[in-house]
Protein backbone atom coordinates (compact mmCIF):
# COMPACT_ATOMS: atom_id res chain seq x y z
CA UNK A 1 0.00 0.00 0.00
CA UNK A 2 1.05 3.56 -0.52
CA UNK A 3 2.48 5.43 2.45
CA UNK A 4 0.69 8.63 1.66
CA UNK A 5 -0.48 11.07 -0.89
CA UNK A 6 1.08 13.76 -3.00
CA UNK A 7 -0.88 16.88 -3.62
CA UNK A 8 -1.76 18.00 -6.18
CA UNK A 9 -2.02 14.93 -8.39
CA UNK A 10 -1.28 17.09 -11.40
CA UNK A 11 0.19 20.56 -11.80
CA UNK A 12 0.56 22.66 -14.93
CA UNK A 13 2.66 25.83 -14.86
CA UNK A 14 4.56 28.06 -17.24
CA UNK A 15 8.31 28.14 -17.54
CA UNK A 16 9.84 30.45 -14.98
CA UNK A 17 7.13 29.92 -12.40
CA UNK A 18 7.64 28.05 -9.14
CA UNK A 19 6.12 24.62 -8.56
CA UNK A 20 5.16 23.37 -5.12
CA UNK A 21 4.25 19.76 -4.39
CA UNK A 22 3.14 18.40 -1.05
CA UNK A 23 3.46 14.97 0.46
CA UNK A 24 1.76 13.46 3.46
CA UNK A 25 2.71 10.21 5.14
CA UNK A 26 1.36 8.03 7.90
CA UNK A 27 4.09 6.48 10.05
CA UNK A 28 7.28 7.55 11.80
CA UNK A 29 10.22 7.86 9.46
CA UNK A 30 14.01 7.96 9.42
CA UNK A 31 14.09 10.18 6.37
CA UNK A 32 12.05 11.32 3.42
CA UNK A 33 13.30 11.39 -0.14
CA UNK A 34 12.06 12.99 -3.33
CA UNK A 35 12.44 11.34 -6.72
CA UNK A 36 11.69 12.38 -10.29
CA UNK A 37 10.44 10.02 -12.99
CA UNK A 38 10.38 10.85 -16.67
CA UNK A 39 7.94 9.06 -18.96
CA UNK A 40 7.44 6.03 -16.72
CA UNK A 41 11.09 5.04 -16.68
CA UNK A 42 13.64 4.96 -13.88
CA UNK A 43 13.52 7.15 -10.81
CA UNK A 44 16.11 9.86 -10.29
CA UNK A 45 16.98 10.77 -6.73
CA UNK A 46 16.58 14.49 -6.02
CA UNK A 47 17.06 15.09 -2.32
CA UNK A 48 17.02 13.35 1.06
CA UNK A 49 15.92 15.06 4.26
CA UNK A 50 16.44 13.42 7.61
CA UNK A 51 13.77 13.29 10.28
CA UNK A 52 15.69 15.75 12.45
CA UNK A 53 16.00 18.29 9.63
CA UNK A 54 13.37 20.87 8.77
CA UNK A 55 14.59 22.30 5.48
CA UNK A 56 17.09 21.40 2.80
CA UNK A 57 18.20 23.00 -0.45
CA UNK A 58 19.77 21.63 -3.59
CA UNK A 59 20.11 23.97 -6.54
CA UNK A 60 16.61 25.05 -7.53
CA UNK A 61 15.03 22.58 -5.12
CA UNK A 62 13.85 23.34 -1.61
CA UNK A 63 12.40 20.65 0.61
CA UNK A 64 10.72 21.11 3.96
CA UNK A 65 9.74 18.47 6.48
CA UNK A 66 7.23 18.78 9.31
CA UNK A 67 7.30 15.55 11.30
CA UNK A 68 4.56 16.77 13.65
CA UNK A 69 2.20 17.04 10.69
CA UNK A 70 3.76 14.12 8.85
CA UNK A 71 4.14 16.20 5.75
CA UNK A 72 6.79 17.46 3.35
CA UNK A 73 6.87 19.89 0.46
CA UNK A 74 9.07 20.17 -2.61
CA UNK A 75 9.53 23.57 -4.20
CA UNK A 76 11.08 23.87 -7.64
CA UNK A 77 11.98 27.47 -8.38
CA UNK A 78 12.21 29.02 -11.83
CA UNK A 79 10.88 25.90 -13.49
CA UNK A 80 12.00 24.78 -16.92
CA UNK A 81 10.35 22.64 -19.58
CA UNK A 82 12.89 19.94 -18.71
CA UNK A 83 11.36 19.73 -15.22
CA UNK A 84 8.27 18.13 -16.75
CA UNK A 85 8.02 14.76 -15.01
CA UNK A 86 6.30 12.90 -12.21
CA UNK A 87 7.59 13.61 -8.72
CA UNK A 88 7.36 11.13 -5.88
CA UNK A 89 8.05 11.37 -2.20
CA UNK A 90 9.30 8.24 -0.49
CA UNK A 91 9.64 7.55 3.20
CA UNK A 92 12.27 5.38 4.79
CA UNK A 93 11.06 3.73 7.98
CA UNK A 94 13.96 1.28 8.44
CA UNK A 95 13.61 -2.48 8.41
CA UNK A 96 16.76 -2.96 10.40
CA UNK A 97 18.69 -0.39 12.35
CA UNK A 98 21.71 0.92 10.55
CA UNK A 99 20.56 -0.08 7.13
CA UNK A 100 19.17 1.45 4.03
CA UNK A 101 15.66 0.16 4.19
CA UNK A 102 12.62 -0.13 2.03
CA UNK A 103 11.12 3.02 0.58
CA UNK A 104 7.40 3.59 0.69
CA UNK A 105 6.28 5.84 -2.12
CA UNK A 106 3.39 8.21 -2.47
CA UNK A 107 1.12 8.41 -5.48
CA UNK A 108 3.09 11.13 -7.25
CA UNK A 109 2.49 14.56 -8.72
CA UNK A 110 2.58 14.97 -12.49
CA UNK A 111 4.21 18.29 -13.31
CA UNK A 112 3.82 19.87 -16.73
CA UNK A 113 5.94 22.93 -17.49
CA UNK A 114 4.97 24.74 -20.66
CA UNK A 115 6.91 27.34 -22.61
Q: Shortest gap between Cβ of 64 and other proteins (angstroms)?
A: 17
Q: Shortest gap between Cβ of 84 and other proteins (angstroms)?
A: 17
Q: Binders of other proteins among 50-109, rule CB under 8 A?
A: 50, 88, 90, 92, 94-108
Per-residue binding letters, 13-52, with other proteins (x by CB under 8 A):
-----------------xx-x-x----xxxxxx--x-x--
Q: Shortest gap between Cβ of 71 and other proteins (angstroms)?
A: 16
**Strands across the sheet containing 19-24:** 5-7, 19-24, 71-76, 61-66, 55-58
Which chain residues interact with other proteins by CB under 8 A?
1-2, 30-31, 33, 35, 40-45, 48, 50, 88, 90, 92, 94-108
Amino acid sequence: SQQGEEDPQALSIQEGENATMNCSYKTSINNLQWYRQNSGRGLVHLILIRSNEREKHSGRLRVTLDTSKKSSSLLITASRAADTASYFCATDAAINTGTASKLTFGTGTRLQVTL
